[in-house]
A = this chain, B = another copy of it.
C-alpha cells in the first residue's frame, strides 16, 4: 500500500467552517511529540536514516482524566530506490516512551529535534483530513489516504478535489516534512 498525502499551510478557523459545512465526521484530537535522534556513529542527514520516538495522547472528550500516553519507536532506513522513495521502515509500540528514550540516551544517541503538534482528525469521503498545529511552525492541513499502486492517480485527484472543497489551493502544497521545515527555520 502507498500513502497519498497532501499538506499545505491553512488557517484552521476557515478549515473548520468548511468541514462543518461538509458535515465532516470528527474523529478525535491527539497531542503528538516526536523526538528525532542523532546517532553516535553515523550522520543520519547524510545516510538519510531517521530514528524517532513518538509519544501520543488523546486530548478530546474521549480522553479520560489521566489520558494514557502511547509511544512507539520508528526507524527509517536509507533510500533503497530513489525514484519511488522506497525505504525500509520498522515501527513498534513501546510500553514506556520515557524509558525507551533513556535506552537510546545510554547508547549514545542524542535528541536532535522535537516536533510537537496538536492534531484534529476528520473524515471527508474516503479521506482523512488532519488539522495540524505545529509548535514553532503554525497551522497546516493534511489530506491522507492509503492507495494501491493502480489507484494512485485517482486517489491523488480525489485528494485535490477535497482540498478544493476546503477552499484551499493545491498549488500551495508543501513537500518538506515538519522536521525539515523546523531545520530550515533554524538556518
Contacts and interface: CB of A to CB of B under 8 A. Distances in A.
Interface string A88-115: 1011111110011011001110000000
A72 B92 CA distance: 12
A40 interface: yes
Interface residues of A, number: 25
Contact of A106 (B41, B49, B96): B49
A106 B42 CA distance: 12
Interface string A48-84: 0101000000000000000000001101010000000
Contacts of A91: 99
Contacts of A93: 94-96
A134 interface: no
Contacts of A92: 94-96, 99-100, 103
A90 B102 contact: yes
A124 interface: no
Nearest to A101: B90
Contact of A95 (B40, B49, B94): B94
A99 B75 CA distance: 10
Nearest to A97: B92
Nearest to A75: B103
Given A42-B108, A49-B107, A75-B107, 6 more contacts: A40-B41, A73-B94, A73-B103, A88-B102, A90-B99, A92-B95
27 contacts: A40-B41, A41-B41, A41-B108, A42-B108, A49-B107, A51-B103, A72-B95, A73-B94, A73-B103, A75-B103, A75-B106, A75-B107, A77-B106, A88-B106, A90-B99, A90-B102, A90-B103, A91-B99, A92-B94, A92-B96, A92-B99, A92-B100, A92-B103, A93-B94, A93-B95, A93-B96, A94-B94
